[in-house]
A = this chain, B = another copy of it.
Amino acid sequence: MHPLSVDRRSSIPLYCQIRQKLLAEIESGRAPAGSLLPSEQEIARQTGVSRMTARQTLKSLCRMGVTVSRRGKGTFVARAKLDKNFRQVRSFTEEMKALGLKPRSRILSLKLVLPPVEARQALHIEPSVKVFNLRRLRLANGVPMSIESSFLPERLYPDFERAFHRGMSLYEMLENRYGVRMEIADEVVEADLARAEDAELLRVAPGSPVFQFTRISYLLDGRAAEYVESVYRGDRYRIVNRLSRVEH
């Protein structure tokens, strides 16, 4: 294990600097799965930070799923980190890039519509109020991956229909143009069979296995700002998750 050190003139928080060094040790294989990381005391001694700061480093790694800590024993390296993080709000674009794939989208339709009842309930919208419905086909390296149907309340996104163009990142645009930032999202995943029209777009046989995602995104003030239904190809997509024994 390389000796640890920090740069106190840097604007990067000390615990982040130390975390980066420890992550480098782990990713390089110098700290393999099951091995013991330096203790809080030891990190504090080597770097000159206080024990609370050293502790913050180790807790952070623990929450990332990279390590496991046990009182009286120490902090141990867990298995190699997984490529997909199921816990974080991410756009399709971000997710595909993280997997090393080239994302692309095709807009299937963009209309102002009366929302289906599920979207209306999720968005707490009165009957007869219209919302924007954006349907897109999502591709990775040119291969169809999913169909995404977003419902966006009109009052939150005035003039959306004209402002949104192909190739734009929806989340970036909502944040930059409307100052709307999704802070948290609830997602439900179901296993289903591809319906004929979806199958055609996804280029799979009708009745093929698919994931059905339903997502409701919320703002800081608790308002629902997006309702999304997506169909993912079961043969090209998998959910990966790391579980911890304890609730942090």
Nearest neighbor of A209 in chain B, beta-carbon distance: B191
- Give A contacts to B, CB under 8 Å: 32-35, 60, 63-65, 68, 70, 73, 76-79, 82, 85-90, 181-193, 207, 209-211, 218-223, 232, 234, 237-248
Q: Can you report 16 A-B residue pairs in the complex whose CB atoms are below 8 A from each other?
A: A34-B220, A64-B248, A76-B222, A78-B218, A79-B218, A88-B243, A88-B244, A90-B243, A183-B244, A185-B243, A186-B240, A189-B238, A191-B209, A191-B232, A192-B209, A192-B234
Q: Are B189 and A239 in contact (CB under 8 A)?
A: yes
Q: Are B183 and A209 in contact (CB under 8 A)?
A: no
Q: Report the separation of the CA atoms of residues A184 and B66 in the bound assembly, to the nearest whole angstrom.
A: 10
Q: Are A184 and B222 in contact (CB under 8 A)?
A: no
- Which B residues are in CB contact (< 8 Å) with A76? 220-222
- Which B residues are in CB contact (< 8 Å) with A242? 184-187
Q: Report the separation of the CA atoms of residues A142 and B97 in the bound assembly, to the nearest whole angstrom.
A: 44
- Shortest CB–CB separation between residue A213 and chain B, in angstroms? 9
Nearest neighbor of A211 in chain B, beta-carbon distance: B191
- Shortest CB–CB separation between residue A34 and chain B, in angstroms? 3
Asked if A238 meets B188 with Cβ closer than 8 Å, knowing A73-B220, A88-B247, A221-B34, the reply is yes
Nearest neighbor of A242 in chain B, beta-carbon distance: B186
- Which B residues are in CB contact (< 8 Å) with A210? 191, 209
